[in-house]
Structure 1
Amino acid sequence: MSKTTIINLLSTAILLCGTMSVQAETLRGTVKDAVTGEALIGATVKIAELENAAAVADMDGNFTIKISKGGRYTIETNYIGYEPSVMKEILISGPKEVVLEIALRENSTELKEVVVKPRVNKEATVNPSVLTGGVMLSMEEASRFAGGYNDPARLVMSFAGVSGDAGGSGLSIHGNAPERMQYRIEGVEVFTPNHFNDMWNAGYGLVSGMNSNVIANSDFFTSTFNANYNNALSGVFDVKMRSGNNSKHENILQIGTVSEELTLEGPISRKNNSSYIINYRYGFTSLVDKLGLVDTEGSHLGFQDFSVKLNFPTKRAGTFSIFGLGLFDTNHDDPLKIEDAHSVYDASNNDSKLTQILAGASHKIHFNNKWTWRTTVAYNMQHLKSNMHYYGFARTENGTIKQPLAYEDPNNPNSKMYPYSQQQMNEDRLVFNTELSKQVTSKWLTQFGGEYSHRFFNLYYRSHDKLYDTVNPMTEYTKMKDNTGLANLFWHNIFNLSDKFSLSAGISGNYFLLSKDLSIEPRVSFKWEPNEKNSFSMGYGLHSMIEKLDAYFYRDGNDRLVNKDLGLTKAHHLHATYMHKFNSNLTLRVNAFYEYGFDTPVGINGSTYCVTNRYYNYTDEPLVNKGNTRNYGGDITLEHYMSHGFFGQTNFSLYKAEYRGQDKVWRNQLYDRGFMFKILAGKEWMIGKNVLNVSAKYSIQGGLRYTPVDVDQMRARVNMGIIDDDPIYKEGEEFTKRFDPTGVVDLTISYKINKRKVSHTIAFEGLNVLGAKVPQYQRFDLGTRDVRIDDGGIAFPNIFYRLDF
C-alpha cells in the first residue's frame, strides 16, 4: 500500500468523524447449539445492566441490540432445554460492531424442580466435550493483557505451567520442548505458525503469524487431550478463525514501530449472510533497530503475513468456508565488527529464508436428527533454506589467535568468509480431516472421525566437520526427497450422568506409514461438581507423536539411513484439577500432573542425547526408541475476571522434567526450569465514550539447563590452533547446571478515542520493557580464554496508532 493511499484513508476517516451523526453502539451475533451448530430460533439475549436492551434470535439464530451508551456489559442468553449462558464484561464501545457467537449446551438435567446453573464465559473450553486439561483463550484479552501483543502465542505465556522466552514465541509446557506441542487451525494440524519458526531453534519463532484480529476464541490444552487430538505430547493449541461481519463493512489500519497492518471485513452477500475477513501485516524490525528501540545484534529480520477467511452459509447445504494463512520471513547479518568478535559464534553469518502457506476449505452441516458433519481439506507447506558462513580468524605464526580478529573486508583480498553449513527443509502436506458428532440424548454426546496427512519432503543438511575447512567437501548428514503419511482415527464420548457428574471416554489410533508403527491410545476423564463453588476433574491419556522428518533421514559415516525405522514417541498423561469459585469473578485453580514418556528416541554408543532436549533445527546423530522421560509437578492459579474495569491473575508452577537414555541414568531435561511465577494486573477506565487501559505483567522463571564447557580442554585445543564450532563439554555433567532465574516486565498502555464513525487508538506495548537479559548459552571466549554467558532476551517495544472505521 502506498503512502498516498494511507494518507487518503486517514483523511477520509477523519472527515467522517466530523460529518456523520452520532450512532448507537451495536451488539449483534448468533445463538447456536454448541455441539451441532444449529441455530436456536427464539433464544432470548439481553444486556443485564440495561432496561429494554434485549432481542430474540430469528430463523437463522441472529439477533441485534442497539444501545445508546457504550461500556462493558453482561450478556445473558436463555433457551428452553439449554443451560443459560452468561458472558461478562463484554466491551460495547465505538463504531465497530460487537459480534458474538453464543454457543449453548443442551441441559442434561431432567425437567424437575432444579435450578439450572448458568455457564459463565472463561469457565469452559470452546470444545464442549472437554472436562479437564484445557482452558479457553479469549482473543479480547490479547489486546489488553500486558505481553499479549495481539499475539495468541504470547497470551498463552500468561497461563500456569507454560514458559516462554523474552525473545520468542516458543511454548514449553511443564518442561517439554516447544516442538512437542501441536497447533491446529480450523480443525487440521499445521506447522508451528510462528515467524522464523525452525530457522534457528526447533519450534520457536519471534512472533506468531496468527493475529488476534482474525482469530476467534480458541482452546489451549496442557494435558490429557481428548481422543480427537493426536500427534502431540505436551499440548495442543486449537485455533479457530472468526468469520467476518456479514452485515457491515469494517476496516482496521494500524501503523507501528514493529509492523503495519490492514484488516478488512464485511458481507459478500447480505442476503445469504456470507462474509469475508482479510488481514495483511508487514513487519520490519530494522526500523526499531535504527531508532534505537531494540538491539537486533546485527541481524536484519523481515517478516510479512496474511490471513483470510471466506464464509458461505446456505439454507440447506450447510456452511462452506475457505481459509488461508501465509508467513514470509528473511534474515541476513551485518558484516562482523572486529570489536564484537570474542567467540567463534560471533564470527558467524546467517542468510535464511522461510515460507509458510496454509490454504484450506471446510464444510459443516447439521441434520434434523442432531447429527453434525464437518470436513476440512487443506494444503500446508513450510520451506526453509539457510546458509551459514564464518569469518576468518587471523593467527600468529605459532597458530594462536591474535587480536583483533580478521573479517570480510572488500578492500582486503586476504580476508574472506568460509562456508560452514547449508540447509534446506522443505515439507508439503495434504491434509484431510473429518468429524461426525451426534447428541444421542441430552446425556450422551458421541464424536468420531479422523485425519490423514500425506507429507512430501525434500530435505538436506550438510556441514563441514571443522571450521575453515577449504580442502574437504561438506559432510551430508541428511539428504532425502520422498513422501510418507500419518493417519489417525478416533471415537470419543461424553456422558452427563447427572447435574454434578460427567464422564468423558474415547480411544484413538495413530499410524505412521514410514515406520509402520501403530499406537492404540485410550483417553478417559471425569468432572465432579458437588456444588456451585467447587469442582474436581481428573483425566488419563496415552499420547504419541512423530518426530520432525529430518530426524528419520540422518545418514551415518557409511551413508546409511540408520534412523528410518524410528517409531512413534509415546507418553502416559495423568492430570487432576481442583477449582474453587470464591465468587462470580474470583477463581482458584489447582493442577497436578504426571507424564511418563517411553519409546523416546535417544543416542547410541554412549551418547546422552535425547530428542526431548532438541534445541536446534537439525538432527545429526543415530537414534533408537529406547529412552524415557518424566515430567511431574503442580500449578496454582488465582484469577480475577474483569469486573468494574479491574482484571488480574497470579500463578505459580513447581515441576521437574527428566530423561534417561540407554544407560538408564535419569538426567535433567534442557527445559527443566524448575519453577515459574507470574502476576498480571490491569485496569480499564471508561472516560466518556473513550477507553483507557493499563496493564502490567511480571514473570520470573528458572533458567534453561546446560552442560558446562570443559575450559581446560578448550584452552589446550585453541593453543594448538584448533578452532571449530563444537565446544568440549564435561563428561558426566550433562544438564547439571541451570542458568540464573530471569524476571521480565511487560507493559501495555492504550487509549481509544471513539468518534461518530471512527475510533482512534494510541498504544504502547512493551515486551521486556526493562531489558532484562535472559541467559541462553554458555560459550568459550577466545579473547579471555574462559567461558562466558550469552544472553537471548531482547526488549521489544511497539508504539502504534490504530484506526477502526
Structure 2
Amino acid sequence: MSYENALANVLKDPNLIYQERNDAIIISSKPKQDSEETKQKILTQTIRGQVIDEESKLPLIGVTVMIEDSSPPIGATTNIDGNFRIEKVPVGRVNLQLSYIGYEQKIIPNIVVNSAKVVVLNLTLHEYTTKMDEVTVVAQMDKGSPINDMALVDARSISPEESNRYAGPFNDPTRILSNYAGIATTQDGSNDIIVRGNSPKYVQWRLEGVQITNPNHFANQSGIGTGGISALNNNMLATSDFYTSAFPAEYGDVLSGVYDIKLRSGNNERFEGVFGVGIMGTDITLEGPLKKGYAGSYLINYRYSTITLLSTLGLLDRSGATNFQDGAFKIMLPSDKLGTFSIFGLGGFSGFDLENISGIDAVLSPGFSGQLSSLSKDHSTRSYLFNTGINHSIYLSKKSYLNTSVIYSTDGINDNVQARYNPPAQAEDSPYQYFEGDVNKSTYRGAMTFNYKFNNRHKLQAGFKYAYFSYDYFQQLQKDTLSTPRLLADFDEQMSTLRNFISWKFQAFSNVTFITGIHQMNDFYNQNRTLEPRFAMDWRLTPNIDLTLGYGKHSTMESAHNYFAKVPNDNGTLTEPNRNLGLLKADHYTLAIEKRFRPDLKAKLGIYYQWLYDLPVAKDSSYYATINERIDYEYVHLVNEGEGKNYGVELTIEKFFNNSYYFLVNMSLFQSKYKTLENKWRNTQYNSEYIANILAGKEFLNLGRKDNQALTINLKVFVGGGRKIIPLRRDDQGQLNVDPANDQYWDYDKAYESSLDDLHQIDFSMSYKWNRPKTTHEFYLNIYDITEAKGRISEYYDDSEPGNISYITQVGLFPNLMYKVYF
C-alpha cells in the first residue's frame, strides 16, 4: 500500500484514524468503548524502526507496515527518513507485513513484544526487476534468509530469539549453530563448531562485519577456536549470518564457515535494561540515548561467573572451579553530513585451577600425543580476549555508499602445569614444571567496501581488507625429572595479509539471479598470492521452488604455531623448517533445491563437495595433518603436499514459529577424508558420517488471571556418529598391548579408522514469562542431556581402572537455570 493509497483508505473508512507525526504516519482503528477493567488488562508496547532498500541502503518513503491479522488493523507508513512507529501493540508475538509499490512484499515473522522494552527494527525490501501488473502478490516470510544481499547459497540468518528459544545452547549464540544441517559439536562440553567435517580452526569469526579473535572463554594453546563458553551475550545481538561454503567474494582467509555476528543498536529514545542471574553467569545490559533530541545511542553489557561471584562473597566454598567475565558495548554516532559512526567492543577473561589430574596427556598440553599415567598434575590456566573497532558508513550518492572499518584485536593464554610422580618413585621426588606456555597475539585490521547500485538489476561491490599480526609465543614441555625440557615454540614474529575483492550481482530475469566475483589473497610473509573466483545462482523455478548453485575457490593461512615450530633434526638440533609453509586451498561446490509448501513451512535438499589441497602434512609420511588437529596437535616438519575431501547430502524440513509452535528436522550424511605422504586415505577425526536433529516447541499464551503470562516448552533430540579416534595399542586378539615404560600407547597405523560409540542426546528447555506495566520477568530452565547418555568419545590408558582403560564421554546431564527482568 502506497502513501496515497493509505490516505485514500482513511478517507473511505470512517473507522480508521490518520495521525501524522515527526517520524511516521500512523493508521489505526478508532478505539472501542471498553470498560475500565478491560483497559487495565491490556498491556501494549511500541514497535518502531526503519525500512531501507536492500541493495542501495537508502531509506524508503511511504512503505506500509502492518501488524498481520490485527483486528482492528494496526499499522503505519514510513516517513522521509524511512522511519515508522506503531504504538499500542498488544504484548506477545506478532508478524509484520511490509508492502511498497515496486518492491516485493515481505513478512517479518515472530517478533516478540514485551511490556518493558520497545521493539526497534531495521528492515529491508527488495526491488522488483520488472514492472508488475496489478495482480495479487502473496508475501513470503522473511525467515532464515541471510542479511547479506550478496549471499545466495549455503547461508542463513540466525536471530537472538532463536538462541533463546532452542533447547540446548545455554543462551550461547555459538552453540545454536549445531541445530542446523551439516554442523556439529564435539559433544565433550566445548562449543567447537564443526562445519561439514572441517576442523573448528577453519571457522572465521566476525563482529560488526570485521574479523575478530576466537570469541570463546577457556581457549587452548593451539588457538584453533575451541572453548567452553562464548563471550558473546544474546542480549547484545541482532540477527546475524552464518555461511557453510562457497562464500561471497568479500570473505577470504577461511575454509570452513563464517559467522558474521551483528550487535544491535541501543534504544535512542529512552533508557532500558535487562538484569539476569543464572548458573552460567550474572549479567546486566543497559541502553539508551546519548542525549535528548540526538539519534545516537549506547548499548553495554557486563557478565560475571555466578559461581565465582558466590565464592567471592563467601557464600560458596569451591575448589578447582572455572571462572570467567566478559563485556561488550556499541555506541551509535549518526551525523547529518559525515555519515554514521559506530564504536564497538567485546572482551573477556577466563581461567581455571585443577589439581591431581592424571590420565591422558593430550588434554593438558600440546607437542605430544602420548600420556604418562604415572604422573598426576596441577593445571592452572588464564586466558583473555579483547576486540574493539570503529565502523563508518556514508552515502556518496543516491546509488552508492561506502563502509570503512578499523579494528584492534588481541587474545592470549597462559598455561602452567606442575607434575609429580604418583606414587612417588623416591621419597625426595617433588613437583616439577611439566608444561609452560605463554601465547599472545595482537591484530590490527583495516577494511573498506564500496557499494554501487546501477539499477534494480545490477549491483557492484568492491573493497579491500588489510591485517597485521603480531605473535609472541613461548611453549616448553618436560616429560619427566630426568629429561631436559623440550622447547616447542619461542618466537616474536609479525605477519600481514591484504585481501582484495570485487563482486557483481546481476538479476538476469525476475526469477534468476547471478552473483560472480573474485577474491585475491596476498600473504606478505611468504609472498603467497591467489586468485579465487566465486559464483552463485538462484533460479526460482516456480513461485514456491528455488534452485541454487554455487562454486568458490578458497585459501587460508595455517595457525601461527605451525610456521615457527621448533623441530629437532637428526643430530638433535632444533630448527624451524616450516617458515615457508604455503596456503591451504579448497574448491567448494554446492547445489540445493528448496520448496515452500506454505509461508511458514519449507523443505530443502542440498549436496556439496569440497576438494582440499596443498594441505600441510608431516614430511615423515606419517598420519599427521594440520587439517585434522584439535588440542592434540604436534610440532613436526610440514610440507604442503596433503589432500582432503568432504562431501555429503543434507535435508532440512522447517516449520517457522507461527501460530504458537515450530519444528525443525534435519539430517546430514557425509564423509570427511584426508591423505598424507603415506598415500592412504584416512577419516578425519571429525568424520562422524551422519548427524540428525529434531527440534520442536510450543508456546502457551494468555495465561494467568490477567492473561499476561506465557509458557514456552522446547525439546531437541540429537543422534550422530562418534568422533574418530586413534585407538590404544592392541594385539591380534584385541587385548591391550601398551608399553608405558617406553611411552608407547597409541596405534597410529589405525588412526581414525573408527569411533567408539554412536552418540545421542535429548535436551529440554522451558521459559515462563509474565508482563507487568513497566517490567517483564522471565524464568528460563535448560536441561542439557536429560537422559545422561554419556556416550564414549575417546579412550586412554589408566592403570587404576579395570582393564586399564578409561574414557572421555559426553558431558552428561547439566541444568541451567536463569532469571531475567526487563525494565
The residue number in structure 2 matching 1:219 is 241
Contact 1:173 1:222 in 2 (8 A): yes
Alignment of 1:305-454 (within 5 A): 305-335=326-356, 344=373, 347-394=376-423, 414=428, 416-454=430-468
User: What count of residue pairs does the alignment treat as equivalent?
Assistant: 757
Distance 1:109 1:40 in 2: 19
Deviation at 1:415, TM superposition (A): 5.7
The residue number in structure 2 matching 1:564 is 579
Distance 2:493 2:632 in 1: 19
Alignment of 1:160-559 (within 5 A): 160-166=181-187, 167-199=189-221, 202-285=224-307, 299-335=320-356, 344=373, 347-394=376-423, 414=428, 416-464=430-478, 466=479, 468-469=480-481, 471-557=482-568, 558-559=573-574
Which secondary structure does the structure 1 equivalent of 2:567 belong to? coil
Contact 1:594 1:630 in 2 (8 A): yes
Distance 2:236 2:746 in 1: 47
Deviation at 1:272, TM superposition (A): 2.3
Deviation at 1:336, TM superposition (A): 5.5
Which secondary structure does the structure 1 equivalent of 2:509 belong to? coil
Distance 2:274 2:41 in 1: 21
Q: Which amino acid aligns with 1:567?
A: G
Distance 1:335 1:663 in 2: 39
- Provide the TM-score with structure 1 as the length reference: 0.90
The residue number in structure 2 matching 1:128 is 149
The residue number in structure 1 matching 2:693 is 678
Deviation at 1:770, TM superposition (A): 2.9
| 1:614 and 2:629 correspond | yes
Deviation at 1:321, TM superposition (A): 0.3
Which secondary structure does the structure 2 equivalent of 1:175 belong to? coil
Give the 4+ runs in structure 1 shifted more than 6 A: 286-290
Alignment of 1:773-792 (within 5 A): 773-783=790-800, 784=802, 786-792=804-810
CA offsets 1:500-549 (integer angstroms, 9 cap, x no match): 11111000001111211111100001111021211110100000111111
The residue number in structure 1 matching 2:62 is 42
Distance 2:425 2:290 in 1: 72
The residue number in structure 1 matching 2:781 is 764
The residue number in structure 1 matching 2:28 is none
Q: Which amino acid aligns with 1:789?
A: Y
Deviation at 1:577, TM superposition (A): 1.1
Distance 1:415 1:28 in 2: 70
Query: Cα–Cα, structure 1 residues 395 and 711, in superposed 2: closer, same or farther, change >3 Å?
Result: farther
Q: Which amino acid aligns with 1:197?
A: A
Which secondary structure does the structure 2 equivalent of 1:168 belong to? coil
Distance 1:395 1:153 in 2: 44
1:586 to 596, 601, 605: 601
Distance 2:237 2:195 in 1: 22
Contact 2:224 2:559 in 1 (8 A): no
Distance 2:134 2:67 in 1: 27
The residue number in structure 1 matching 2:671 is 656
2:816 to 791, 798, 804: 798
CA offsets 1:231-271 (integer angstroms, 9 cap, x no match): 11111101111100111111000011221000001111342
Query: Cα–Cα, structure 1 residues 68 and 336, in superposed 2: closer, same or farther, change >3 Å?
Result: closer
Deviation at 1:711, TM superposition (A): 4.3
Q: Which amino acid aligns with 1:440?
A: F
Deviation at 1:717, TM superposition (A): 3.1
Using the TM superposition, name which of 735-744 and 107-116 deviates more: 107-116
The residue number in structure 1 matching 2:722 is 703
Query: Cα–Cα, structure 1 residues 69 and 114, in superposed 2: closer, same or farther, change >3 Å?
Result: closer
| 1:24 and 2:35 correspond | no
Q: Which amino acid aligns with 2:502?
A: W
1:80 to 101, 106, 113: 101
Contact 2:221 2:439 in 1 (8 A): no
CA RMSD of aligned residues (A): 2.6
Using the TM superposition, name which of 149-158 and 222-231 deviates more: 149-158
| 1:148 and 2:169 correspond | yes
Which secondary structure does the structure 2 equivalent of 1:497 belong to? strand
In structure 2, the gaps of 5 or more residues are 1-39, 360-370
Using the TM superposition, name which of 488-497 and 270-279 deviates more: 270-279
Contact 2:461 2:504 in 1 (8 A): yes
Deviation at 1:60, TM superposition (A): 2.4
Distance 2:601 2:613 in 1: 39
User: How many percent identity over aligned positions?
Assistant: 28
Deviation at 1:98, TM superposition (A): 1.3
Contact 1:446 1:494 in 2 (8 A): yes
- Provide the TM-score with structure 2 as the length reference: 0.88
CA offsets 1:262-309 (integer angstroms, 9 cap, x no match): 00011113422101110111124568999xxx9x9x742111110100
| 1:625 and 2:625 correspond | no
Contact 1:678 1:698 in 2 (8 A): yes
Distance 1:604 1:285 in 2: 47
Q: Which amino acid aligns with 1:43?
A: V
**Of the two structures, which has the highest relative contact order with CA contacts closer than 8 Å and spacing of 6 or more?**
1
Deviation at 1:626, TM superposition (A): 0.3
Query: Cα–Cα, structure 1 residues 74 and 715, in superposed 2: closer, same or farther, change >3 Å?
Result: closer
Deviation at 1:318, TM superposition (A): 1.1
1:69 to 90, 97, 100: 90
Contact 1:199 1:617 in 2 (8 A): no
Deviation at 1:617, TM superposition (A): 6.9
Distance 1:672 1:69 in 2: 49
In structure 1, the gaps of 5 or more residues are 1-19, 398-412
Distance 1:92 1:281 in 2: 25
Distance 2:374 2:292 in 1: 58
Which secondary structure does the structure 2 equivalent of 1:530 belong to? strand
Q: Which amino acid aligns with 2:728?
A: V
| 1:137 and 2:154 correspond | no
Which secondary structure does the structure 1 equivalent of 2:542 belong to? coil
Contact 1:22 1:756 in 2 (8 A): no
The residue number in structure 1 matching 2:759 is 742
1:730 to 738, 747, 770: 747
Which secondary structure does the structure 2 equivalent of 1:551 belong to? helix
Deviation at 1:111, TM superposition (A): 4.3
Distance 2:119 2:791 in 1: 40
The residue number in structure 2 matching 1:11 is none
CA offsets 1:546-590 (integer angstroms, 9 cap, x no match): 111111001222222101101110000001111011111111011
Q: Which amino acid aligns with 1:91?
A: V
Which secondary structure does the structure 2 equivalent of 1:170 belong to? coil
Using the TM superposition, name which of 696-705 and 42-51 deviates more: 42-51
Using the TM superposition, name which of 270-279 and 651-660 deviates more: 270-279
Deviation at 1:368, TM superposition (A): 2.6
Query: Cα–Cα, structure 1 residues 319 and 184, in superposed 2: closer, same or farther, change >3 Å?
Result: same
Distance 1:356 1:207 in 2: 13
Query: Cα–Cα, structure 1 residues 106 and 231, in superposed 2: closer, same or farther, change >3 Å?
Result: same
Distance 1:311 1:319 in 2: 7
Query: Cα–Cα, structure 1 residues 496 and 118, in superposed 2: closer, same or farther, change >3 Å?
Result: farther
Distance 1:542 1:336 in 2: 44
Query: Cα–Cα, structure 1 residues 559 and 52, in superposed 2: closer, same or farther, change >3 Å?
Result: same
Distance 2:293 2:620 in 1: 69
Which secondary structure does the structure 1 equivalent of 2:531 belong to? strand
Contact 2:614 2:642 in 1 (8 A): yes
Deviation at 1:113, TM superposition (A): 5.4
Using the TM superposition, name which of 255-264 and 86-95 deviates more: 86-95
